[in-house]
Chains A and B, each alone.
Chain A
Amino acid sequence: MFRSVARRRLGALIVAAALAFLCREAHARVRPHYGGEVRVETSEAEAPDFIKLLVTETLTSINAGGEAAPALAVRWEPQNGARRWRFWLRPDVRLHGTDMDEPLTAALTANALRAGLAKAGIAARVDASGEVVTVEFDTPMPQFAALLAGAEFGVGTIDSRGVVVGSGPYAIQSVAPPGMTLVANPDHWAGRRFPETVTVLCSRSAREQALDLAAKRADLIEVPPEELRRAQQERSRLSQMMAAELIVVSAERAGAGDVRLRRALSESIDRAALLNFIFQKQGEVSGALLPNWITGYGVLLPAVHDAARARQLRSEAGAGPQSTLGYEKSDAEMQLLAERIALNARESGIAVQPVGRTSNVDWLLRRVPVQTANPAAALAGVLRSLHRTVELNDATLEGVFRAERAALADYTAIPLLHLNRAWAAGERLRDWSNASPLTPLPAESWVEGKP
């Protein structure tokens, strides 16, 4: 449950002091060096996806253009209108670990896929034969190849120590909650990674991360959206910033009013004010579930703020009972958002009561990470997070647009904002310019000197 973690506002002085430390960078371009340790910290309770993917690889990956690309599968083929998918495994891939130096087989891959599909709530039949894994669905899954790049579909097993074993560029060396240490796999099929070890420390608050980076106890940390502006002003060493976190209000109960009332709530919300005052303009207002940098069609799903029409819609729907808007109690920004939304709603005659809980509510304010640049897979991931399904028969951009528009039509999901996300790195981490929230530790990165 690494996403349900408290995000606290940092003290201004602490961040200024901590992030100012990151400004000093004057490296020349040199070829990567082998060895050293990358120390990663996260607020999540579990290792983030990019760390999981270092250990258990997926059949596909997503390239810079957002398309599915080969990983453990060297090729694939959709059949029967994308209801049946065949994946050909990369030859000579071996599992790593103390007692697991054995080939990665189609049978093991099929088992891992079954587990991943079950976890994702996707019904499918998975078979293995020779070097081919076949997955069959009752309905078309044109986005399946891209979907498989997600960390939940990582291929691995458990060794005699009870440790996860995969074929990735790193193996788990030790686990000592709340952290773990990974060690480079020298025989990785894509070539050995440069850092010898990667250590991960979970459940670190943003404040602790910033202090550790400043004190050179960490090399890679998260920067929350609300601190990005300050980090930029301080000229911190940041990854690409991407609008990679959706803030959305989702209807949790059928009783969240009829469609007119839900639309009235949507149009009552002044999204620009939310972005400007709570997140210091670090993101975009949005009427779409997916950020525009992925789709480009955001203009066709505009965010509408029309308090007069919201009042009219509410009047047509009739006065409903007061509804509750839940938020994660420990999330200070979500509390501010909820209070502001309730204020906007009240101005349009809609009674909404913010409550600091996430169950037994009419509406829920959610943070949903966008974890892939592939439009079809991103939409599937966001909808899965919202416990909604939508039929996607066509994985082209136009098909994704139609599916997203259909998902938004009944206003049970009201997108508000896409917040920028970024990571910050210490000065030891080199060749890091391609880093992004989706790939905070690019394959070409290496560490200089000793910590």
Chain B
Amino acid sequence: MLSIPTEELRPEKRIGGAGASRYNSRIVRTLPLAVVVALCLTLPCRAQAVAPDAAQEFAARIAALAGPGTATLTTVNSSSATAEQYATFRKALQRGLQDAGVRLRQSAQASSDIGVTLSENVRGMVYLAEVKQGTETRTVVMEAPRMAAPPGPSSAMTLRRSLLVSRAEPMLDAALLRVGGENRLAVLSARAVVLYRQQAGKWDEESSAPITHGQSLPLDLRGHLVHTGEFSLEAYLPGTVCTVNLAGAIHAECRDADDAWPLGAQAALFNSGRNYFNGLLRPGFGRQLAPFFSAAALPYPGYTLWVFAGVDGEIRTHDGSRQGTLNARDWGSDLASVHSGCGGGTQLLVTSASDAGGHDSLRAFELVERQPVMTAPAMEFAGTITALWAAHDGSSAMAILRDARTATYEVFNVSISCTP
């Protein structure tokens, strides 16, 4: 069993409260809730509350202008930093100035007056200082990483997710593997299969194999990793299939091909110039289906019910002999089955969210009398889910999230836990 730190779904937490003043509005959004959710849910994963190195460097640059001696220090928060973050920044700045030989006083007889403003721009924080000595005023302008919102309180939820890795490059699929007795994570992008090794609960990039393809790829690019053995994977991209060897140094052999993509017990032909499967399945159901974006299998005694998210927005089912339609117009285009052992045993994870706010969600459903019944509350994501594939052992799903605010992609492992 792979050991992955898990994060339970947390309620959304708003930032920018009473202590967070703004100099002026940086970017005003029509639906600010989306931005708030993005800030709250994504930043705690990666950023520290304050960048201590940046504050130290800033202090050193101020000290270089002020020189050793006494100084007054006035600070103003003109950013979205919380009162707590602002206090941390101020403390780090005071410590840095004192380390650099500046003796802070409240007296008007100090040799320098230092005015510091904590500001921000589209890229992150901006530290501003005005150092006044007599009639002369000199300035320091320095950019620093954005500060993080503090984590919110936790509460028990049925859906669980674990953030595995985050990259700037778009990712298409990921697979958790056991290779030579060790945990590995393979991540597929348009250009490479990247292998990660788990160390101290964290995934570190180990090696990568470049992917070559002879044609331009579609804009809404999709790809799929298929586990074919302990030391091998197959990577499917539109018009390209790669065999990935994990024994020794990772290596990928790619060829231009329109092979059907394995989707469990079925394989489906993908339209290499578009972003969907064209409806041809092998072994199939005796006739071509309508084009679809994704498919998932739900096992029932004596048969398997396939669920297809159609390009036309319809959610269709096929049990091998009969085709049906689900009343699920609010489902998104991506779905995957997860065997949790809870309830009926296997649930459908589906994307579903308004596209107006730049955030997405996953919900779990079971089908009761061929109609969907939600079995877990929605798990909100601070971004758009760009890919959702069932894990190769079927016990979880891999979700790729695009965080528009930070322009990064994140791989989540999503599972369903039973609650009494």
Contact = CB atoms under 8 A, between A and B. Distances in A.
A295 B329 contact: no
Specify which of A67, A420, A433 lies most central, judged by the most chain B CB atoms within 10 Å of its CB.
Answer: A433
A48 to B, nearest CB: 20
A301 B274 CA distance: 50
A434 B311 CA distance: 23
Contact of B330 (A28, A398, A434, A444): A28
A65 B25 CA distance: 17
B28 A420 contact: yes
A191 B30 contact: no
B404 interface: yes
A66 B123 contact: yes
A2 interface: no
27 contacts: A25-B354, A27-B354, A28-B352, A28-B354, A29-B333, A29-B352, A29-B385, A31-B334, A32-B219, A63-B407, A186-B273, A191-B217, A194-B219, A240-B30, A284-B25, A293-B26, A295-B121, A299-B117, A299-B119, A300-B117, A300-B139, A397-B143, A401-B139, A401-B141, A431-B355, A432-B355, A433-B357
Interface string B321-335: 000000001111110
Contacts of B384: 29
Given A65-B407, A238-B30, A293 B355 contact: no
Given A34-B274, A297-B119, A190 B219 contact: yes
A194 B384 CA distance: 18
A252 to B, nearest CB: 29
Interface residues of B, number: 60
Contacts, number: 160
A81 B30 CA distance: 43
Nearest to B293: A31
A151 to B, nearest CB: 20
Contacts of B395: none
A28 B220 contact: no
A27 B355 contact: yes
A65 to B, nearest CB: 5
Consensus secondary structure, chain B interface = loop
Contact of A191 (B119, B139, B221, B330): B221
Nearest to A33: B311
A82 B221 CA distance: 37
Interface in A254-313: 284, 292-300
A15 B23 CA distance: 31
Nearest to B333: A31
B313 A30 contact: yes
A429 B63 CA distance: 53
Contact of A29 (B78, B140, B311, B355): B355
Contacts of A63: 407
Given A29-B355, A443-B219, 11 more contacts: A28-B353, A29-B353, A30-B313, A31-B293, A34-B275, A64-B407, A186-B273, A294-B122, A297-B126, A298-B119, A431-B355
A194, A296, A420, most chain B CB atoms within 10 A: A296
Given A295-B126, A300-B139, A191 B218 contact: yes
Interface in B105-145: 117, 119-123, 125-126, 128, 130, 139-143
B216 A191 contact: yes
Contact of B121 (A29, A30, A192, A296): A296
A194 B25 CA distance: 33
Contacts of A27: 354-356
Given A31-B275, A32-B275, A298-B23, A240 B29 contact: yes
Nearest to B384: A29
B156 interface: no
B355 A28 contact: yes
A293 B122 CA distance: 6
Interface of A: 25-34, 63-67, 186-194, 232, 237-243, 284, 292-300, 373, 375, 397-398, 401, 420, 422, 430-434, 436, 443-444
A31 B357 CA distance: 16
B279 interface: no
Interface string B235-250: 0000000000000000
B187 to A, nearest CB: 20
A30 B353 CA distance: 9
Contacts of A191: 216-221
Contact of A296 (B119, B313, B334, B407): B119
B332 A29 contact: yes
A285 B142 CA distance: 23
A192 B271 CA distance: 13
A401 B122 CA distance: 16
A304 to B, nearest CB: 15
A241 B355 contact: no
B360 interface: yes
B122 A29 contact: no
A292 B119 contact: yes
B356 A433 contact: yes
A84 B342 CA distance: 65
Contacts of A192: 218-219, 273
Contacts of A299: 23, 76, 78, 117, 119, 128
A65 B407 CA distance: 9
A372 B31 CA distance: 23
B24 interface: yes
B122 A66 contact: yes
B141 A297 contact: yes
Interface in B388-420: 404-405, 407
A242 B358 CA distance: 17
Contacts of B117: 299-300
A67 B121 CA distance: 13
B379 interface: no
A430 B355 CA distance: 8
A232 B30 CA distance: 7
A399 B273 CA distance: 46
B72 interface: no
Interface string B11-28: 000000000000111111
B34 interface: yes
B89 interface: no
A25 B356 CA distance: 8
A240 B333 CA distance: 25
Nearest to A286: B24
Contacts of A292: 23-24, 26, 119, 121
A64 B407 CA distance: 7
A65 B139 CA distance: 24
Contacts of B407: 63-65
Given A27-B354, A31-B333, A33-B311, A296 B293 contact: no
Nearest to A446: B220
B306 to A, nearest CB: 18
A28 B332 contact: yes
